[in-house]
Chain A
């Protein structure tokens, strides 16, 4: 199996906590190849990446890098051997500037003082390379959207000698245009002999980029083939061990009765004069580039952020008002699944049960706020079964679950509340093909059942499959609405870029930091 020309070889890698997570994993990577690693969440992909990048030691097995034994004790040692990682969960230090993050491992300094000029100067070409030329290197990381942060992290990973680059879901938070830019950067690296280990749930992307693919299932390698030798359907079957249908069938058409009417909503530069209607039984998709204001619009509608103008009307009710807090929105039967499940949704250390019950505590209580534990247990267990949340029991801490199951727990939280209007912001980001199909079925099922759904996604295929109509935002404005069922992806992308036609200058509010 092993290739003498390989830059990296792993044999019989194992990792066990109390259950085995990886068993007998062999992997070899050739210089300049893009090797895809696929599998359902919980299959062991992230664990494998952690072992390679020195974040956790293997329980057994050996690794060779450039013909020498490789057994990194920490990420710094892996980095010094030329193994770089872009992790799935961003670990940005929010108070640092973009430039400081790029050079986190070694800030340019003189006599112990950080050389700010050199920092800014050296940042420029790195940002250009990943298509972030309009970014001010002095801008704090906290001010960046999740997609931009990811690109900064990628820039930080690739600007030094790199034998092997590990990418865990690098495009999960990127728009198609940003992903495009990333692919160019990767192709450039490959041409210089860097081997890529590429984890993604987007199979069409893998088909485009990868030379070979390794499929993990339950911690074992079930296939390792040239990508041309396996069809996409075959890949999915290998991953899940069962057939998953990507096609969605809607049974009930949308009504023309408005469920939610938004008029003239203004909330900072990201949300300018936004108006739209969502009808009962309808899925309204929201497309746009990262930073177009989709999440900000949803947050303003939901009352999570203050809007300074505009009105939100429910079920054709009274106008002239909007929600001052998420509590008011929830009271009116609205639910929002946020784009960042760690910060906006999960109670990490608490049991699945507590996470699921959170939005319904009042209904699960008897008099005087006394929790009805039996009712809670019954309700939560039913939803765990219905959504097939994989956990040892409802008492397992939610941060021990895989990303897809965490997401399902959060969806369960809202389904328990039985909302009439649901906002899903990037519901399938970073979750596996099986869970993704289940989420799609669920969204379709909710709309069929008469609920109104607002779906934000950077995955155009997801939007076009699920939406009845797609609204496109560009630079904080709603620029176009498309009617389904047959969407023209190119027209949607053109609309998404329409706000950007003017030559892109440094945003004025950051100009003075340079």
Chain B
């Protein structure tokens, strides 16, 4: 909770700062730019948080996003499927990729870093194969999804917010979430407590794959096309957002809400820097610095909290 508040504080400070430096930053147009890019990034950050909390990592989310939307695009443009069937096919693709990740990690007790690195390559290859390496233009048949809005908020954005809340509830209120956090803290202890850790990890990887596909659908709706190159590097942005949100890379600690605040902070930073005229190389340099600073700040925050609570 305290952590969430400090993230909101950073966010407000950043927004005010950019608002002072640039006349256009605090306008609805620039806020809309940020909000438009959010659904995909939010959904991937949620997926990454779930996996990181369980002490694992999923480097394949960007590629799984691409192959899922490739399937969706081809189903609509070349096979002439209806949009619900095509979306279902896209989501199933993501779910299967996640299940494969999870099954391999669990069956051979392999580090997920390597397994999902493999899936990152493989799924990207799958995206090219499915689409024949060409962007599939779908147009109005799918674009209307992104145009639905309620109180000025787009449907994908609302869906992403709902997913953030669902994931937070999953982590804090359900048995599965509790088990994932416990596994991320001490997997052997959880196994010896009689819990089937393999089933939990498989479920988490499957969820991550499914969420990556959901993020893919959101992106297709916004761009009205499916691009096999989509999502390149998104896994790293998702990790960065989760870490800024205080998720522990070694597992055992993380919050979907805080990770999503991390996404918003990264988005504000990127848009704000562009608007005050910072060039892309400098922008990346600043963003990199912010990620590392966030982790350092977290170390101090923990130390401080630890010293307060210590009662040896």
- A residues apposed to B, CB below 8 Å: 17-19, 21, 42, 44, 46-47, 302, 304, 325-327, 329-331, 336, 338, 343-350, 354, 357-359, 361-362, 365, 368-371, 373, 392, 396-397, 400, 402, 413, 417
CB neighbours (8 Å) of A369 from chain B are: 174-176
**Option from B182, B190, B196, B308 in Cβ contact (under 8 Å) with A18:** B308
Contact of B85 with A by CB under 8 A: no
CB neighbours (8 Å) of B308 from chain A are: 18
**Option from B178, B310, B312 in Cβ contact (under 8 Å) with A361:** B178
Contact B196 A371 (CB under 8 A): no
Number of A-B contacts (CB under 8 A): 102
Contact B194 A330 (CB under 8 A): yes
Contact A371 B173 (CB under 8 A): yes
The 8 closest A-B pairs by CB, nearest first: A330-B194, A17-B310, A369-B175, A347-B185, A359-B193, A361-B175, A358-B193, A327-B194
Contact A402 B312 (CB under 8 A): yes
**Option from A17, A19, A326 in Cβ contact (under 8 Å) with B193:** A326
Cα of A350 to Cα of B178 in the assembled complex, Å: 11
Contact of B191 with A by CB under 8 A: yes
Check A17/B253 contact, CB under 8 A, given A42-B312, A358-B182, A400-B312.
no
**Option from B182, B189, B309 in Cβ contact (under 8 Å) with A400:** B309
Q: List 16 A-B contacts (CB under 8 A).
A: A18-B308, A44-B312, A325-B191, A327-B196, A343-B186, A347-B185, A347-B186, A348-B186, A349-B185, A354-B182, A369-B175, A370-B173, A370-B175, A371-B173, A396-B309, A417-B194
**Option from B181, B195, B309 in Cβ contact (under 8 Å) with A350:** B181
Contact B174 A327 (CB under 8 A): no
Residue of B nearest to A304 (CB): B192
Check A347/B311 contact, CB under 8 A, given A325-B196, A370-B174.
no
Check A371/B193 contact, CB under 8 A, given A17-B312, A47-B312, A347-B186.
no
Residue of B nearest to A334 (CB): B194
Contact A330 B188 (CB under 8 A): no
Contact A350 B185 (CB under 8 A): yes
Contact of B307 with A by CB under 8 A: yes
Contact B194 A326 (CB under 8 A): yes
CB neighbours (8 Å) of A396 from chain B are: 309, 311
Residue of A nearest to B195 (CB): A327
CB neighbours (8 Å) of A392 from chain B are: 309, 311
Cα of A330 to Cα of B308 in the assembled complex, Å: 37
**Complex interface residues of chain B between 157 and 183 (CB less than 8 A to chain A):** 173-176, 178-179, 181-182
Cα of A212 to Cα of B238 in the assembled complex, Å: 60
B: contact size bracket: 20 to 34
Contact B311 A354 (CB under 8 A): no
Contact B310 A400 (CB under 8 A): yes
Contact A336 B186 (CB under 8 A): no
Cα of A371 to Cα of B177 in the assembled complex, Å: 10
Cα of A240 to Cα of B178 in the assembled complex, Å: 37
Smallest beta-carbon distance B172→chain A, Å: 8
CB neighbours (8 Å) of B190 from chain A are: 347, 358
Check A358/B312 contact, CB under 8 A, given A347-B186, A348-B185, A369-B175.
no
**Complex interface residues of chain B between 176 and 221 (CB less than 8 A to chain A):** 176, 178-179, 181-182, 185-186, 188-196
Contact of B245 with A by CB under 8 A: no
CB neighbours (8 Å) of A359 from chain B are: 193-195
Residue of B nearest to A50 (CB): B312
Interface mask (B12-36 → A, CB under 8 Å = 1, otherwise 0): 0000000000000000000000000
Check A344/B189 contact, CB under 8 A, given A326-B194, A358-B195.
yes
Contact B175 A371 (CB under 8 A): yes
Check A336/B192 contact, CB under 8 A, given A18-B307, A18-B311, A400-B310.
yes
Smallest beta-carbon distance A106→chain B, Å: 31
CB neighbours (8 Å) of B62 from chain A are: none
Contact of B252 with A by CB under 8 A: yes
Cα of A472 to Cα of B3 in the assembled complex, Å: 54
Contact A329 B194 (CB under 8 A): yes
CB neighbours (8 Å) of B253 from chain A are: 349
CB neighbours (8 Å) of A343 from chain B are: 186, 188-189
Contact A330 B186 (CB under 8 A): no
Contact B194 A345 (CB under 8 A): no
Residue of B nearest to A396 (CB): B309
CB neighbours (8 Å) of B186 from chain A are: 343, 346-348
Contact A400 B185 (CB under 8 A): no
Contact A354 B178 (CB under 8 A): yes
Smallest beta-carbon distance A432→chain B, Å: 14
CB neighbours (8 Å) of B178 from chain A are: 354, 357, 361, 371
Smallest beta-carbon distance A49→chain B, Å: 12
CB neighbours (8 Å) of B191 from chain A are: 304, 325-327
Cα of A362 to Cα of B193 in the assembled complex, Å: 12
Known A17-B311, A346-B189, A359-B194; further 12 A-B contacts with Cβ < 8 A: A47-B312, A326-B191, A343-B186, A347-B190, A348-B186, A349-B253, A358-B195, A368-B174, A369-B176, A371-B173, A371-B174, A392-B309
Cα of A19 to Cα of B181 in the assembled complex, Å: 30
Residue of B nearest to A419 (CB): B194
Cα of A47 to Cα of B311 in the assembled complex, Å: 11
Contact B310 A18 (CB under 8 A): yes
Cα of A370 to Cα of B175 in the assembled complex, Å: 6
Residue of A nearest to B186 (CB): A347
Contact B189 A345 (CB under 8 A): yes
Cα of A338 to Cα of B188 in the assembled complex, Å: 11
CB neighbours (8 Å) of A42 from chain B are: 312
Smallest beta-carbon distance B254→chain A, Å: 12
Cα of A443 to Cα of B193 in the assembled complex, Å: 19
**Option from B175, B252, B311 in Cβ contact (under 8 Å) with A349:** B252
Smallest beta-carbon distance A217→chain B, Å: 15
Chain A CB count within 10 A is highest, among B175, B179, B308, for B175
Contact A21 B195 (CB under 8 A): no
Check A344/B188 contact, CB under 8 A, given A17-B310, A18-B311, A327-B196.
yes
Cα of A327 to Cα of B181 in the assembled complex, Å: 18
Smallest beta-carbon distance B32→chain A, Å: 37
Cα of A436 to Cα of B181 in the assembled complex, Å: 31
Contact B193 A330 (CB under 8 A): yes
Cα of A331 to Cα of B193 in the assembled complex, Å: 11
CB neighbours (8 Å) of B175 from chain A are: 361-362, 365, 369-371
Smallest beta-carbon distance B233→chain A, Å: 31
Smallest beta-carbon distance B39→chain A, Å: 26
Chain A CB count within 10 A is highest, among B174, B190, B192, for B192
Chain A CB count within 10 A is highest, among B181, B182, B253, for B182
Cα of A453 to Cα of B310 in the assembled complex, Å: 35
Chain A CB count within 10 A is highest, among B174, B181, B190, B311, for B311
Cα of A160 to Cα of B151 in the assembled complex, Å: 76
Interface mask (B282-312 → A, CB under 8 Å = 1, otherwise 0): 0000000000000000000000000111111
Cα of A302 to Cα of B189 in the assembled complex, Å: 14
Residue of B nearest to A341 (CB): B189
Check A338/B192 contact, CB under 8 A, given A18-B307, A361-B179.
yes
Cα of A302 to Cα of B194 in the assembled complex, Å: 10
Residue of A nearest to B173 (CB): A371
Residue of B nearest to A41 (CB): B312
Contact A344 B311 (CB under 8 A): no
CB neighbours (8 Å) of B192 from chain A are: 302, 304, 326, 336, 338, 344-345
Contact A19 B194 (CB under 8 A): no
Smallest beta-carbon distance A370→chain B, Å: 6
